[in-house]
Structure 1
């Protein structure tokens, strides 16, 4: 084996070694990371204010820009940017300062020395619920609270929409892509993890409940980044895995929604949900979106009336007082799957649904009580919004793709008990979210190492297969070349002329070749022709005719034509033209002026043959070769008087030259195949032509029959003697 081939075969081993080393190095790197100390979670203090025009919600303070501008925002894990209300959002208000205070403060991007503008882009969240709009995007400094971490180059957006009345603190780790060519700007929570402010990309949240202010001092919202607050959680064993939809990942199954019965004799709770549904958990919106069938049950049970103008369930003073007196609770039964027997109950008092809508929310003009239930027209709109999280606590771990929901615990009086959620690669556990069995820090090879080994093995197999195929093809081509050289040597040095050196080798004797020759197929649509009697004025000598067209009994039989070699006709042109031309008294009817130079092995002397002679001739080397005519190839042959042949005449001429036959006899001779005879061409009689614009008299119209209009088809001349009317009846 050549040194080059040996070096090529060593390539797969090198590739495999490189892949294994890279995979094992990755595994070592993970173990080193696991051994480091993780950061502590961060608890974000609420603003101690209740904001909003769609209810009273506990907000969080952010400081944006340089110098810092304080704004109050609400929490969203559907969003992945920080949003602030621009001054344009209050320009149309009657009281600019009151509007700014109602919207949690304004973010003036032009007043920030660190704002870097990127442009105006559309919002990509909540479009399923009918929320559309855009904002002025860019990068700026964002600080959490008064003493929280401050991050530069954070993606921010300023807006002036009324759909989102307050600013938004996005907790989703998805990056923001301003163009397809960029990798995306990291989200705020991702930057906190990268700069080691928090141990993991995770959070714990509850919305707070204003109606509990009289019962507890801790009624405000709670937000923990990198973990959760154990004092706010009634722990359970249910853990949900993210849904496949990237825009609706925190999805739970709602098996039942029920309320206590008002009938004393029937204590069975009233079911408010006809069938199990799947709902998206999202605190960006305040409402609870349920199927319209469930909304009808709510209307009947609580006496609600749907307002078509505002698309809200408005509650008047009378109904409001009745519902307060009833004080009916509503319980949501959640599960991981539709038929899961293990479930979780989240109970909400009626006070959680007793909200007030303020202008200009949904077009209301005055402060109005409303029930935060919305009609979902399809499955993508079914959502449990901020109202639900007044009594629920959610913990989301984006690194493990898991989350937990639990009842909010109002009984504990301690301030906080923060529990860190370590990185997913770490070997640790935490209630309701972690899955230590899938941790990459466990014994054995990690998933990345195994994937690297598999990729390396596949690459080695592919390289080996390619080399083997290349080697086999190379040997095959070499064998073909050797066989061709051997055949040339066996055939002799005179196997072909110098002008036809690339032709296939043939047998040495012409007589042996004639026994194995394959007749050339007739051209499509051509009629077979046979040889006519040779005229005494033929150009070839009698000796040549006798040797090529006579058998032992002296019977003349046509022979399959030989392949032309050397100076012969081929591919629509003449390769060699003789200086001698036939006499004008020659019986040849189609003329010539071009000749093939051939020789006869029987006589040993060169003779000339007309290009349209009915006889075939041997090649100069006495070797016959097949003719492989290209489809549709029609040579241009001139007559003796310089006129071009017609297509039909040229076709007959080619039959004579290539097949060695003449015109069609009256009856086919033995050994020939007679094809179907053609009908003589028919012409249209001018008297049968009817001109549409010719004015004729009425008698002529009566004589015209329907068949006259089809005179061009010649149906009446067919052998079956059917008339036009019979054919088209």
Structure 2
């Protein structure tokens, strides 16, 4: 069975797997659970003709009604309907057939068996530009492509027929907004929405460039539904978001419009836009609508002349030759906002502005060249029209509400490479016209994995801390247990070698006083207070403060040994240590030793008293002659001899220095001459303090080795020798 620690160590791997699963859960959930293949985008092929009375534009043919009527149209990102010219649009023309041909042919709703009339309604587009209109609306069948075209055909599509001249050709609206005729409760889906619902395309998106008749022998327009053509543009990293106004959603920030300087001594480009503005990108109209201040700069720079009758900048032959010779280009710098951020530059040659208008456009009676610049009355008219889209490639994803504008690539031999834009799943996607869906982990997945790794590292750190803490606690508990059991281990079962080793340990324990002795008054805060254990203490080995007697006399160092240990006595040390050595090795005397023989003592040790042993490694057993303590009489005699100068009275039957006849064994006596007299210790200079030692074994003991400058009475060892 694995231990708890083993199971905890397996937790980081489980957390890593969980973090990766959480990180990838979002991307995995976005995939089609039915494994449906994403529909390929539709490349809507343009006609092989150039149409329009406001310039030459590449058009697209749609099939309307049953039987099909073929109508040429211009692409509109603003309109959400399919619009065609009614017969009324050419009713006043001198040549109906010629008018019908120039207007992209006529849609006769009464000739269609599938047309369901709804009524006459205003179409609601370009009204801000002063181009109102209305149409007869109904539901009918609409298909992509001309005769023999293989494009999809959708029934019940919203179709409108108009007759006004402001929009001369039909309009193919690709905006996905629905049409509301009576109320918002029953909207009619747009053509683009139906394409996706019927799975012709994967998303409601489209890409478009207007084509350029001045490039090569004429480059036709390109329209891709549900994706884009990756060979048509220069990639860039600028992605635009929709504006808040859904009637003007494809809005860009135009930070500058400039043209190269014609003055070689001053190569700085000439700024044509006095201040940055927001402009609506609209393929429905051909012109570029700018503020009056910007139009004035254009007039000065290019010599344009404004015609108040037509509201156009008409170009005569002289100006036309001058502009051709100048061949100036104009560059638009676009960004999400009017300041800062990533920008994309779209450059248009003068040929893109060299347009020809025909009657009845703007009331003209003759064909004339004009410069497609219009004066905007206010900021609601700031519009970038079809002229700009000759050199720009526009991709719009209405589901994600994002779009991209890129410079067109002019490669006549390039083969189309269509890329589908996947459906929007509620999360932001980085797929734009300049980026195909990339492989690898998303930013959310990487962030989730990083978070999981950080969590694992934090868990490992906690486990390591817990392990070290437990180990430290166990070590402390073991040390405490060893400390408690240390004294028990120093009993009579220890060998002499173990006893000597343990006697050298540096542990110092507080000692109890001798029974009946008085406490020692401390004379200095640095003095040590060591007291002998009381003879009345418990003899139990496990009782704190007690210890058993050594098993042999070899428990302490031999008297003849010069080696020093903490248990080796030094001269002058007795029941209380009254001196210690300072850092210079000299003794510092702190207090007068209290003698057990002083009158203040209630009792003193005699031969009947049990021997007292210090803690191991501290002081040796007090040994008198023959291993016994002095009797009371011997002690009294010694005091008389030492302090009063009087010899002891005649010995009784028991002599002190010779064996008695009554004694069965030889008794050893103490030679008075060999008794160590307690002289004045060598105190520091000017120190008059005198210490008296009661016994010769009260030797001074230092912490390490014998202190230099101290003397040990050599005859003190003779006190323990046999006579």
Fold match by TM threshold 0.5: yes
1:452-477 deviation per Cα after TM superposition (whole angstroms, max 9, x unaligned): xxxxxxxxxxxxxxxxxxxxxxxxxx
Question: CA 1:62–1:369 in structure 2 vs 1: closer, same or farther (change >3 Å)?
Answer: same
Map 1:315-714 onto structure 2 (within 5 A): 315-411=315-411, 413-425=413-425, 429-432=430-433
Q: 1:431: how far off?
A: 3.6
1:179 lines up with 2:205 in the alignment: no
Choose the corresponding residue for 1:192, options 191, 195, 198: 195
Question: CA 1:440–1:378 in structure 2 vs 1: closer, same or farther (change >3 Å)?
Answer: farther
* Residues 227, 419 of structure 1: 8 Å contact kept: yes
Please give the alpha-carbon distance, in whole angstroms, between the structure 1 residues aligned to 2:385 and 2:445: 41
Please give the alpha-carbon distance, in whole angstroms, between the structure 1 residues aligned to 2:338 and 2:164: 38
Please give the alpha-carbon distance, in whole angstroms, between the structure 1 residues aligned to 2:139 and 2:433: 36
Question: CA 1:279–1:57 in structure 2 vs 1: closer, same or farther (change >3 Å)?
Answer: same
Choose the corresponding residue for 1:212, options 196, 211, 215: 215
The structure with the largest alpha-carbon Rg is 2
Please give the alpha-carbon distance, in whole angstroms, between the structure 2 residues aligned to 1:106 and 1:90: 9
Q: 1:183: how far off?
A: 2.3
Please give the alpha-carbon distance, in whole angstroms, between the structure 2 residues aligned to 1:272 and 1:201: 36
Aligned residues: 415
Question: CA 1:419–1:34 in structure 2 vs 1: closer, same or farther (change >3 Å)?
Answer: farther
Q: 1:411: how far off?
A: 2.7
The equivalent of 1:51 in structure 2 is 51
The equivalent of 2:462 in structure 1 is none
The equivalent of 1:94 in structure 2 is 94
Q: 1:212: how far off?
A: 1.1
The equivalent of 1:67 in structure 2 is 67
Question: CA 1:111–1:84 in structure 2 vs 1: closer, same or farther (change >3 Å)?
Answer: same
Q: 1:343: how far off?
A: 1.0
* Residues 425, 441 of structure 1: 8 Å contact kept: no
* Residues 280, 384 of structure 1: 8 Å contact kept: yes
Q: 1:338: how far off?
A: 1.6
Question: CA 1:58–1:205 in structure 2 vs 1: closer, same or farther (change >3 Å)?
Answer: same
1:158 lines up with 2:161 in the alignment: yes
Please give the alpha-carbon distance, in whole angstroms, between the structure 2 residues aligned to 1:435 and 1:412: 23
The equivalent of 1:312 in structure 2 is 312
Please give the alpha-carbon distance, in whole angstroms, between the structure 2 residues aligned to 1:54 and 1:120: 27
Q: 1:350: how far off?
A: 0.4
1:203 lines up with 2:211 in the alignment: no
Question: CA 1:347–1:34 in structure 2 vs 1: closer, same or farther (change >3 Å)?
Answer: farther
Any gaps of 5 or more consecutive residues in structure 1? Answer: 1-25, 445-729
Please give the alpha-carbon distance, in whole angstroms, between the structure 2 residues aligned to 1:119 and 1:220: 36
Question: CA 1:410–1:436 in structure 2 vs 1: closer, same or farther (change >3 Å)?
Answer: closer
1:244 lines up with 2:239 in the alignment: no
* Residues 230, 433 of structure 2: 8 Å contact kept: no
1:426-479 deviation per Cα after TM superposition (whole angstroms, max 9, x unaligned): 987524578999x999889xxxxxxxxxxxxxxxxxxxxxxxxxxxxxxxxxxx
- Structure 2 counterpart SS, 1:320: helix
Question: CA 1:399–1:181 in structure 2 vs 1: closer, same or farther (change >3 Å)?
Answer: closer
Please give the alpha-carbon distance, in whole angstroms, between the structure 1 residues aligned to 2:341 and 2:444: 31
Please give the alpha-carbon distance, in whole angstroms, between the structure 2 residues aligned to 1:413 and 1:435: 22
Please give the alpha-carbon distance, in whole angstroms, between the structure 2 residues aligned to 1:107 and 1:425: 39
Please give the alpha-carbon distance, in whole angstroms, between the structure 1 residues aligned to 2:234 and 2:437: 22
Q: 1:420: how far off?
A: 0.4
Please give the alpha-carbon distance, in whole angstroms, between the structure 1 residues aligned to 2:188 and 2:387: 32
Question: CA 1:426–1:440 in structure 2 vs 1: closer, same or farther (change >3 Å)?
Answer: farther
Question: CA 1:163–1:440 in structure 2 vs 1: closer, same or farther (change >3 Å)?
Answer: farther
Please give the alpha-carbon distance, in whole angstroms, between the structure 2 residues aligned to 1:67 and 1:442: 53
Question: CA 1:27–1:392 in structure 2 vs 1: closer, same or farther (change >3 Å)?
Answer: closer
Q: 1:290: how far off?
A: 0.3
Please give the alpha-carbon distance, in whole angstroms, between the structure 2 residues aligned to 1:299 and 1:272: 10
Map 1:13-32 onto structure 2 (within 5 A): 32=32
Question: CA 1:292–1:181 in structure 2 vs 1: closer, same or farther (change >3 Å)?
Answer: closer
Q: 1:58: how far off?
A: 0.1
Please give the alpha-carbon distance, in whole angstroms, between the structure 2 residues aligned to 1:165 and 1:85: 8
Please give the alpha-carbon distance, in whole angstroms, between the structure 2 residues aligned to 1:191 and 1:264: 56
* Residues 239, 432 of structure 2: 8 Å contact kept: no
1:235-262 deviation per Cα after TM superposition (whole angstroms, max 9, x unaligned): 1000000000010101001111111111
- Structure 1 counterpart SS, 2:47: strand
- Structure 2 counterpart SS, 1:47: coil
* Residues 231, 412 of structure 1: 8 Å contact kept: no
- TM-score normalized with structure 2 length: 0.55
* Residues 252, 334 of structure 1: 8 Å contact kept: yes
* Residues 211, 351 of structure 1: 8 Å contact kept: yes
1:269-317 deviation per Cα after TM superposition (whole angstroms, max 9, x unaligned): 1110001011000000000000000000000111111111100001111
Please give the alpha-carbon distance, in whole angstroms, between the structure 2 residues aligned to 1:440 and 1:139: 44
Question: CA 1:256–1:32 in structure 2 vs 1: closer, same or farther (change >3 Å)?
Answer: closer
The equivalent of 2:720 in structure 1 is none
1:170 lines up with 2:170 in the alignment: no
* Residues 46, 61 of structure 1: 8 Å contact kept: yes
Any gaps of 5 or more consecutive residues in structure 2? Answer: 1-25, 447-723
* Residues 31, 441 of structure 1: 8 Å contact kept: no
Please give the alpha-carbon distance, in whole angstroms, between the structure 1 residues aligned to 2:34 and 2:54: 45
Q: 1:265: how far off?
A: 1.0
* Residues 235, 435 of structure 2: 8 Å contact kept: no
